[in-house]
Amino acid sequence: MTLIDLANPTRFLALTARLLPWLAAATVILLAIGLYQSALAPDDYQQGATVKIMFIHVPNAWLSMFVWGVMSIASLGTLVWRHPLADVAAKAAAPIGASFTFLALLTGSLWGRPMWGTYWEWDARLTSVLILFLMYLGLMALWRAVDDPSRAARAAAVLTLVGAINLPIIKFSVDWWNTLHQPASVMRMGGSTLDKSFLIPLLVMAIAFTLLFVTLHLAAMRNEILRRRVRSLQMMQASRVAFSSAGPREGSASNEVGAA
């Protein structure tokens, strides 16, 4: 099974119909384990119980960048390989990524209030994630503004690839500038600085959130394919009505085309 095989939407629908229940079940189980473990995780000696916001905040923030990465690869698929499902993947991922980014910003500001004494601070990490959120919204606006999906897909692909420049800026903003946001502590040179009792629940939650994204993404892609089919059926119906009202002879001809 390669990516080329999935270029057939019907085959993609059949495969995902079989995959989705398993993915959903795995997501629910891992989320339950992750939430249970993070509830049992000890309080931080400085932050107290608020450290538990981390188990939601960090996976959301990772996913906000991961989803843009997925969209960038899908955009390459649209522009370079002209894969027919690539623009469906890019379009379906945008609202999900925007939600993850919004949740990362929201949980971050709820965590920042007791820890930093402010809901919002214009530091490099926060500002660059906010830019990412605005770009998600702009991309969604672009998808909605154009009625021809293939035309919108190519424009959105160019914009997505330009926006991908933001990803390394977000990742390394805490190293390049002295900011209020803490530097990287899990994915860094020389191993994690996080204690095991925090690290294991965090990784479980990260995997659970990734699975959640995959599940939601595949479901959204299915919906998008079905939406496009409904749209083209409606167009066919409309053209048939237009033909049949024009005259009996054209009407019978278009009926044959419709039957074929």
238 binds another protein (CB under 8 A): no
Burial class of 245 by CB neighbour count within 10 A (0 to 12, 13 to 18, 19+): exposed
**Interface pick for another protein out of 25, 32, 134, 238 (rule CB under 8 A):** 134
**Interface pick for another protein out of 20, 24, 26, 137 (rule CB under 8 A):** 137
**Interface pick for another protein out of 13, 131, 200, 214 (rule CB under 8 A):** 131
73 binds another protein (CB under 8 A): no
- Which residue's CB is nearer to another protein, number 3 or number 141? 141
**Interface pick for another protein out of 40, 145, 187, 189 (rule CB under 8 A):** 145
Which of 82, 54, 16, 45 minimizes the C-alpha distance to 219? 16
Output DSSP code: residue 23.
H
Tokens 């992750």 found at: 34
CB atoms within 10 A of CB 49: 11
CA distance 256 to 82: 32
Whether the CB-CB separation of 41 and 200 falls below 8 Å is answered with: no
User: Which of the residues 2 through 31 are near another protein (CB under 8 A)?
Assistant: none
- Which residue's CB is nearer to another protein, number 154 or number 240? 154
Query: Where on the chain is the footprint of another protein (CB under 8 A)?
Result: 79, 127, 131, 134-135, 137-138, 141-142, 145-146, 151-152, 154-155, 157-159, 161-163, 165, 169
